[in-house]
Amino acid sequence: MKKISVKLLPFFVILLMYTATGCSKKQYPKAEYHKLTGRKAKLYTAQGIKTSSNTLPLGDKQKFTLTATDSVLTYPGKSSEKIYSNYKEFFADVVPGKNYKVSVHTLPDTHTSTYKYLFVSLADIFDKQDKKLKIEIVENRWATGFEKPGLKRAFTFNSGETDQVRIVICADNRELDKKIFTFTMNFVSKKFMTAPTGDFYITIEEIKE
């Protein structure tokens, strides 16, 4: 039997690793969510403390990670179902009476798999008196061109009488492990699926008239 050249071994090792990981799933969203439902949670009411690390400067795009160890909130689903999600809380200084846009770009994981996982962002925005501000979804699309792959969503609001807002970002966990986008190159398809956690960019900016 012909022996395999030692020089070729690294290639076969890499191929074997890709085959083992490329056809498997890194995350198991429904299993991750099941663990989440075992934690104590309620409708979001808490107001955290504003710090330098959770304050968003206007116009600056910053990267964060929604993790399974973050605090948990709940929100209503279909038929009075209670939906759980981890959440991140941010603050921003604003000018009263102005219009603003919050952009959230969620990113897929970097695992070498044909399945990529990212979360679908939801947002709530509160004023300084803990009153929820009305928001409007103005963007909901897959990133294209030279942008990093991911789901881009944007929410607009008017600051009203407040000079500071609190932005709560969580995941839409109503339909987990659902395909939201497929990308094919050189006959290889990558499927982008919904998950409870992941990396994201967030930006808040004033809307100039």
**Which pLDDT does position 18 carry in this prediction?**
40
**Which pLDDT does position 19 carry in this prediction?**
40
The tens digit of pLDDT for each residue in 169-198 reads 999 999 999 999 998 878 888 999 999 999
Q: For 14-61, give the secondary structure using H, E and C.
A: HHHHHHHHHCCCCCCHHHHHHHHCCCCCEECCCCCCCCCCCECCCCCC
CA–CA separation, 103 and 140 (whole Å): 10
In a domain, 16, yes or no: no
Question: How many distinct structural domains can be found in the chain?
Answer: 1
In a domain, 81, yes or no: yes
Distance separating the N- and C-terminal Cα atoms of the chain? 76
**Listing from the earlier edge strand, what are the strands of the sheet with 188-194?**
115-118, 188-194, 179-185
CA–CA separation, 73 and 118 (whole Å): 19
Give me 57's structure tokens.
């400067």
Q: In Å, how far are 27, 104, 111, 138, 154 from 205, measured between CA atoms?
A: 33, 12, 32, 14, 11
In a domain, 179, yes or no: yes
In a domain, 5, yes or no: no
In a domain, 70, yes or no: yes
Q: In Å, how far are 110, 147, 162, 183, 190 from 186, measured between CA atoms?
A: 19, 20, 52, 10, 11
Nearest C-alpha neighbor of 158 from the set 92, 91, 99? 99
Per-residue pLDDT of the chain in tens (209 residues, 90 and over written 9) = 444 343 444 444 433 444 444 445 556 899 999 999 988 888 888 778 999 999 999 999 999 999 999 999 999 988 888 999 999 999 999 999 999 999 999 999 988 788 999 999 999 999 999 999 999 999 999 998 889 999 999 999 999 999 999 999 999 999 999 999 998 878 888 999 999 999 999 999 999 87
pTM value is 0.85
> Residue 79: what are its φ and ψ, rounded to 5°?
55, 45
**Which pLDDT does position 104 carry in this prediction?**
98
CA–CA separation, 58 and 95 (whole Å): 11
**Which pLDDT does position 145 carry in this prediction?**
82
In a domain, 6, yes or no: no
CATH of the domain at 127: 2.60.120.380
**Which pLDDT does position 26 carry in this prediction?**
57
**Which pLDDT does position 80 carry in this prediction?**
80
CA–CA separation, 109 and 52 (whole Å): 27
In a domain, 8, yes or no: no
The enclosing H or E element of 91 equals: strand 82-93
Which domain covers residue 126, as residue numbers?
27-206
